Homo-oligomer: A and B are copies of this chain.
Amino acid sequence: MGKGYHVAIVGATGAVGIELLRVMERREFPVASLRLLASPKSVGRSLRFRAQEIAVEALDENSFAGTGLAFFSAGSNIAREFAPRAQKAGVVVVDNSSAFRMDEAVPLVIPEVNPDDVRAHRGLIANPNCTTAVALMALFPLHRAFGLQRVFAASYQAVSGSGSRAIEELRNQIDAASNGREIRAEVYPHQIAFNALPHVDSFLATGYTREEMKLQNEGRKMMHLPEFRASVTCVRIPVYRAHSVAISAEFARPVSIDAARDVLAKAPGLDLVDEPTANRYPTPLECAGKDNCQVGRLRIDSALENGLSLWVSGDQLLKGAALNAVQIAELL
């Protein structure tokens, strides 16, 4: 395939795996060879990369021979089992799961936020939570300008964040509803079609979900901001692709709309879409398939002193996962 890395993708047939292939093509990521790894049930399938059909192989302990760079997008259990093995075999791993994100020895990186942190890696770099990544694309530039202290946020998360089976589940439920058939819920505990579920990831003893703590925990680590506080409600809604977040953010210093606009308009990887009276604001549908996140609905927060309200949307399979992973690899 030319000069470049010997790349492996673990979880190649999943929603994020497929996007990784497209992102590497689009960004002309230097790939010398490519192995597609997945669970045994995907063996026999093949996926297209740069006009070549590549057979999917079963992941096992010998999968990483000759590999230089591995993207993991197969969940925490697979990551915990196979990432350290790959690491020992000299492979640099970029992991999309939550398994190692809060590990002090593992850099957690958004290239637009903390690119320098990647340097300290010991063969393993973590990709942040998708909702966190989308939110920080707007919050971090505002932090640099005004000093971020805390946020109150509510998410509107797409089913693709739960993987390919969840996309199918929404499609099947819509179809069943249209045709008067019984609606079955298997991926989610309740019907997701025409519904909203305040339940993403598992519940902690505090009543928050794990997902709801990621903006605070991962945000502190990536922004180097140990005092940062975030109270979040994460909600799954019947959208196929792209997450959105409604945010009230409090800053140390006074904020003006003009100054915030200026900061956000210049922020990398982010588009300011904020002409509400012309019906222009971010929507998940508009962000689906786009690399850049979008921010809009800016207003001086009515219940905070130095506060700003905003609305961010972004394709969580791209900036929240595949794109960010490839950007991390590009930093190396």
Taking beta carbons and an 8 Å cutoff, which residues of A are in contact with B? 150-154, 156, 174-175, 178, 189-191, 194-199, 203, 206-209, 213, 216, 229-231, 233, 235, 237-240, 244, 246, 248, 257, 276-277, 279, 281-286, 296-304, 307, 309, 311
Contact A281 to B199, CB < 8 A, known contacts A154-B246, A276-B207, A298-B207: yes
Q: How many copies are assembled? A: 2
Contact B283 A196 (CB under 8 A): yes
What's the least CB distance linking A181 to chain B, in Å?
Answer: 13
Q: How far is the CA of A20 from the CA of B309 in the complex (A)?
A: 36
Q: Please name all residues of chain B whose beta carbon is closer than 8 Å to the beta carbon of A296 when the two chains form the complex.
A: 198
Q: List 20 A-B contacts (CB under 8 A).
A: A151-B303, A154-B154, A154-B246, A156-B235, A191-B285, A194-B238, A196-B244, A196-B283, A196-B284, A198-B282, A199-B276, A209-B276, A229-B303, A230-B302, A230-B303, A231-B301, A231-B303, A231-B309, A233-B246, A235-B246
Residues from chain B with Cβ under 8 Å of A175 in the complex: 178
The residues of B that contact A309 with a CB separation of less than 8 Å are 207-208, 231, 233
User: Which one of A209, A285, A298 has the highest number of Cβ atoms from chain B below 10 Å of its Cβ?
Assistant: A285
A239 to B236, CA, bound (A): 12
Q: In the docked arrangement, what's the CA distance between A311 and B311, Å?
A: 19
A199: chain B residues within 8 A (beta carbon) = 276, 279, 281
Are A281 and B198 touching (Cβ within 8 A)? Answer: yes
Distance, CA A198 to CA B297, complexed state (A)? 8
Question: Does B233 lie within 8 Å of A152, measured CB to CB?
Answer: no
Given contacts A178-B178, A239-B196, A284-B195, contact A302 B246 (CB under 8 A): no
Q: Is the CB of B194 within 8 A of A307?
A: no
Known contacts being A190-B283, A233-B154, is A302 close to B198, with CB within 8 Å? no
CA distance A203 to B246 in the complex (A): 16
Rounded to whole angstroms, the CA-CA distance of A309 and B230 in the bound complex is 12
The 9 closest A-B pairs by CB, nearest first: A207-B299, A154-B154, A152-B152, A233-B246, A231-B303, A189-B279, A154-B246, A229-B303, A195-B285
